[in-house]
Amino acid sequence: MTAGTLNATLSVRNLSVRFRMRGGRHIAAVTDASFDLAVGECLALVGESGCGKSVLASALLGLLPANAECEGAALLDDGTDLITAGERLLARTVRGRRIGLVPQSPAAHLTPVRTVSSQLSETIRELRPVPRQERRAAAHAAAGRAAFPADHLDRYPHELSGGLAQRAATALALVGDAPLLLADEPTTGLDRALVERTADELRRTVDEGRALLMITHDLAAAARIADRVAVMYAGRIVELADATRFFGEPGPLHPYARGLLDALPERSFQPIPGMPPELGDLPAGCAFAPRCDLADALCGTQPRFDGRVACHHAHTEDPSRA
Amino acid sequence: MLELSNITAGYERGKPVVRDVSLAVSRGEAVGLLGPSGCGKSTLARVAALLHRPDAGTVVLDGTTVTDYRHRAPRALRTTVGVVFQSPRLSADPRLRLRDLIAEPLKATGRRIEIRERVDELARAVGLGGDLLTRSVHEVSDGQLQRACLARALVLRPRLLICDEMTAMLDASTTAALVAAVENYRRETQASLLAVGHDQVLLDRWCDRTVSWDVPPPA
């Protein structure tokens, strides 16, 4: 992974986000994250809840609270730096137009007192030059793209099941035809068939020439649509891998990623012992070491991310297969 | 332990969400209820947890035919069931500390004297260590909060545990940890389990048998 990769829709460089807390404490939510995302590519960012995945997404959209301090850069293809861009620029040209957000909790994202149809129409009015009388038809079309049933368009968000609310939110994100989609847990609360349908729908929008950063804990959904997988642990990207290699043979390199896959019910269904560390109180060395059975004295120092993995004891591939 | 017979339930007159469904869970048995989003499985779980009055049908819980629901249900019957919901954020009072969240059912049933011992024991069982118990609900992650919600559901030692999509918001490792905590509790107490979900692989691995919603569940 080199700086300034061609065709990268999004280049994140050494992005760190810290929250200033009372009493001079700091919470290091994201530390030194770097990755590239190109058109036609889906990158899945996976990790346990509370590892900093959603903070990373909020940073890219300039939606962090006032006590957040960012370092590093996140460049769009025309050189716009999302980290230093002002609110005015983000609001007028970026959100919805260049980056579409599929939110984590659609029930909280949708306006509770207005129907789905009215919210779609409003978004269309703001983002696309559609004449007034054609807006309803455009809203229908937008709903159809996210597989939202047309006969539910006049319902209010509280009248929708979790799955339908998710699809309504996805439809809103697709309205502006943004070249980059950020999906924050797009499949949470959906049943398996709907997960696959939502995932396939997102994949189709990627194949139409968009880039997708999908933040998820659903490894099955990630395996279904991702081209590459980034594993995040305690605010750091600890592994960045090709999805086929990650989910198939030889599997992940980082012991945390291996443990995460092993916890799946179709694999050994064994949890990783312990819990993730507090982001306000990270150890000096490898943050995973206290839960890792390979840990030794070397793990007291922070492992360097070499572009594939950050671990002193990464799983070694069988050289005959490499 | 739990017998639901010909249950019809819904939220609007004349529009039942659940129609004539029967389901039984024997003592010590783990039953998975599998169905697509919006099919009414959560409503059925609410009926089983005495949180929603069905329009028709009978609920027999632990040998007692249920006549009153919600706050009218007799306490002895209500505390027979523990429930864990899908979204821990929506089912936890944001003003509470996790310790108080877990202890709430004990306070509500006048068993404050058990709080100290029981809360610590459960915190260990669900893997909430360190200073997490003194944190507020808004200071912990979804996974940590769901661990606390499971502890809250177990605090009165229910003989039936209902998990409505307990792990849908959680990552693989936390899912495996919570399922292991439920199974440890069931091994100690022979409690029954009704696990509602949409993940067939998970329910097949977790439960003794899995009932699919599209075929009418056998009585």
Which of B128, B171, B203 is the best mutation test for A, with the most CBs of A within 10 A?
A: B171
Distance from CA of A222 to the nearest CA of B (A): 12
Look at residue A6 in the predicted model and tell me its pLDDT. Answer: 52
B140 is a domain residue: yes
Indicate if the pLDDT at residue A1 is higher than 50: no
**Residue B174 belongs to domain spanning:** 2-212
- Give the pairing type, strands B15-25 and B30-34: unpaired
At A199-257, the pLDDT tens digits run 888 898 899 888 999 999 889 889 999 999 999 999 999 999 999 999 998 899 999 99
Would B217 be classed as within a structural domain? no
CB B211 within 8 A of CB B200: no
**pLDDT computed for residue A310 by the predictor:** 93
Integer Cα distance of A128 and A97 in angstroms: 9
Nearest CA in chain A to B199: A192
Residue B218 falls within a domain, yes or no?
no
pLDDT (mean) for A171-197: 84
B203 neighbors B32 (Cβ within 8 angstroms) = yes
Instruction: Give me the mean pLDDT over the A159-171 stretch.
Output: 83
Domains held by chain B: number: 1
CB contact under 8 A, B165 and A266: no
Cα Rg, chain B, nearest whole Å: 17
H/E stretch holding A76 reads strand A68-76
Other Cβ atoms within 10 Å of A40 Cβ, number: 14
% pLDDT > 70, chain A: 96
Contact B172 A275 (CB under 8 A): no
Q: Which domains does chain A have, with CATH numbers?
A: 8-98+180-300 (3.40.50.300), 108-177 (no CATH)
Chain B within 8 Å of A50 (Cβ-Cβ)?
yes
* Secondary structure class of A239 (helix, strand, coil): strand
Q: Rounded to whole angstroms, how far apart are CA atoms A280 and A29?
A: 8
Q: Using an 8 Å Cβ cutoff, are B9 and A133 in contact?
A: no
CB contact under 8 A, A192 and B200: yes
Residues of A within 8 A of B173 (CB-CB) are 48, 259-260, 263, 271-272
Confidence of residue A7 (pLDDT cuts 50, 70, 90): low
Residues of B within 8 A of A162 (CB-CB) are: 37, 86
A-chain residues near B179 (CB < 8 A): 269
CA distance A287 to chain B (A): 16
Q: In chain B, whose CA is at the least distance from the CA of A46?
A: B171
Query: Which CATH number belongs to the domain containing residue B48 in this structure?
Result: 3.40.50.300
Mutate to test the interface with B, among A19, A185, A191, A232 (most CBs of B within 10 A): A191
Cβ separation A194–B129 shorter than 8 A: no
Question: Please, are residues B79 and B158 in contact by the beta-carbon 8 Å criterion?
Answer: yes
Mean pLDDT is highest, among A32-41, A160-169, A274-283, for A32-41
First to last CA, chain B: 13
What the block records as the tokens of B7 is 């249950």
- Asked if B25 and B219 count as a contact pair (C-beta separation under 8 A), the reply is no
Helix axes B98-108, B115-126, angle to 10 degrees: 130
Minimal CA separation from B65 to chain A, in Å: 31
Q: How far is B81 from chain A (nearest CA, A)?
A: 24
Residues of chain B with pLDDT under 70: 214-219
Peptide bond into A250 cis (omega under 30): yes
B57 within a domain of the structure (yes/no): yes
**Structure confidence at residue A317 as a pLDDT band (50, 70, 90):** low
A30 residue type, one letter:
V
**Per the CB < 8 Å rule, is B38 touching A263?**
no
pLDDT of A81 higher than 80: yes
- Helix ranges (DSSP H) in B54-206: 75-78, 98-108, 115-126, 142-154, 172-189, 200-206
Tell me whether residue B60 is in a domain. Answer: yes
What phi and psi values does residue A262 have, to the nearest 5 degrees? Answer: -70, -20
Sequence letter at residue A39: V
Query: How does residue A320 score in pLDDT terms, banded at 50, 70 and 90?
Result: very low
Are A179 and A209 in contact by the 8 Å Cβ rule? The answer is yes
Residue A302: what are its φ and ψ, rounded to 5°? -65, 120
Are B142 and A50 a contacting pair at CB < 8 A?
Answer: yes
**CA-CA-CA-CA dihedral for B179, B184, B190, B195, to nearest 10:** -10
Using the Cβ of A259 and the Cβ atoms of chain B, whether some distance falls under 8 Å is answered with yes
pLDDT of residue A319: 45
Does A316 contact B at CB distance below 8 Å? no
pLDDT value for A10: 93
CB contact under 8 A, A49 and B143: yes
Which residue of A lies nearest to B89 if distances are taken between CA atoms? Answer: A105
Nearest to A97 by CA among A168, A22, A196, A173: A173
Residue in B with minimal Cα distance to A269: B176
Minimal-distance CA residue of chain A relative to B165: A189
CA–CA separation, A276 vs B173, rounded Å? 11
Kindly determine whether residue A271 and residue B38, on different chains, have CB atoms separated by under 8 Å.
no
> Where does the pLDDT of residue A322 fall: very low under 50, low under 70, confident under 90, or very high at 90 and above?
very low
CB contact at 8 A, B206 and B180: no
The residue written with tokens 């809360």 in the block is B119
CA angle B72, B76, B79 (to 5 degrees): 90
Q: Is there a contact between B198 and A49 if contact means CB atoms under 8 Å apart?
A: no
Cis peptide before A303 (omega within 30 of 0): no
Q: Name residue B104's amino acid.
A: E
Angle between helix A135-145 and A116-127 (nearest 10): 110
Q: Average pLDDT over chain A, rounded to whole?
A: 87
Residues 6+ apart with CB under 8 A from A40: A206, A207, A209, A210, A211
> Could you tell me if residue B219 is inside a domain?
no
Residue B64: beta bridge partners? Answer: B61
Work out the number of other CB atoms within 10 angstroms of the CB of residue B170: 24
Q: Which of A46, A49, A194 to mutate to test the interface with B (most CBs of B within 10 A)?
A: A49
A282 touches chain B (CB under 8 A): no
For residue B47, is it within any domain? yes
B13 occurs within a structural domain: yes
Question: Chain A contacts of B129, Cβ < 8 Å?
Answer: 275
Chain A residues lying within 8 Å of B36, measured CB to CB? 191, 193-194
Decide if A270 and B200 are in contact by the 8 Å CB cutoff: no
Alpha helical stretches, state H, A208-264? 219-225, 243-247, 255-262
Query: Above 0.85 for ipTM, yes or no?
Result: no
**β-strand partners of A37:** A10
Measured between CB atoms, does A207 come within 8 Å of chain B?
no
CB atoms within 10 A of CB A95: 18
Compute the radius of gyration of chain A from its Cα atoms: 20
Burial code (b: 16+ CB inside 10 Å, e: under 16) for A251-262 equals ebbbbbbbbbbb
List CB contacts (< 8 A) between B206 and chain A.
265
